[in-house]
Amino acid sequence: MGLFGEIVDELRGMSIRQFVSQVLGLALIVSSAFMIWKCLILATGSESPVVVVLSGSMEPAFERGDILFLYNGEKEVGTGDIVVFNLPGRDIPIVHRVLRMHKKSGEFDEGQQIDILTKGDNNYNDDRVLYDPGVDWIHEENLLGRAVGYLPHAGMATIYMNDYPMIKFLLIGFLGLLVVTSKD
């Protein structure tokens, strides 16, 4: 009965030609989503223009599961900016606020010109405890971008999907089936 029965019936009654056309439709949706993502990367200059907040270190401003939109433009990073950065050798980007910045005079390697120290609004201490031992500063090369937009709670689904991968596969499978069988 219900939704699932309908879908199965739909699949049974389909000709090969119909089936191929539906699969192509699905491929079109997936590739459009991919293209939109790539265009966002071009427009914002950030390799990851939308990120989900994973920790409570910026509370009460940002909670776990909130979405931030990043921009990585020409403007120099300054104290008070909320930046998203990757520490070398670690996969999970961190969202914290710039506490201190010192721009060196003279010539330096690309991305090394500015010394940056960060701190979470909700943390008592600055982030030197998070950086590798002996590392006092991060640099522009570590930055993914500055937070310019905020959308609450919308990233909660991503967190659930990361915590319980089964949900992800079920959801993708179900949506795929739905798209393949739907008639326009």
Partner 1 sequence: MHSASYRTNAILTMAFSGLVALCVAVSLTEVFHRSSPEASLKLHHVHYFRPSLVNNDEAVLSFNMKSDLSSCFSWNTKQLFAYIKVVYETDKHVRNEVTVWDKVIKTTEDHKVVDEVFLSKYKLVDNGAGLRGRDVNVTLAWNVMPYIGALYYQEKTFTAKLPSDYLVDS
Closer to partner 1 by Cβ: residue 90 or 171: 171
**Sole binder of partner 1 in the list 19, 104, 167, 171 (CB under 8 A):** 104
Helical (H) or strand (E) element with 85? strand 82-85
Name which of 66, 62, 28, 68 is nearest 49 in CA terms: 68
Per-residue binding letters, 150-169, with partner 1 (x by CB under 8 A): xxx-----------------
One-letter amino acid of 124: Y
Phi-psi region of 89 (alpha: psi -120 to 50; beta: other; left: phi over 0): left
Q: Does 96 bind partner 1 (CB under 8 A)?
A: no
Half-sphere exposure of 72 (CA within 13 A, CB side): 20
Q: Is 79 near partner 1 (CB under 8 A)?
A: yes
Active site residue 32: no
- Token output for 179: 């798209």
- Residue 95 in the binding site for partner 1 (CB under 8 A): no
- Nearer CB in complex with partner 1: 79/90: 79
Q: Which residues bind partner 1 (CB under 8 A)?
A: 2-3, 6-7, 60-61, 76, 78-80, 82, 97-105, 115, 121, 147-152, 178, 182
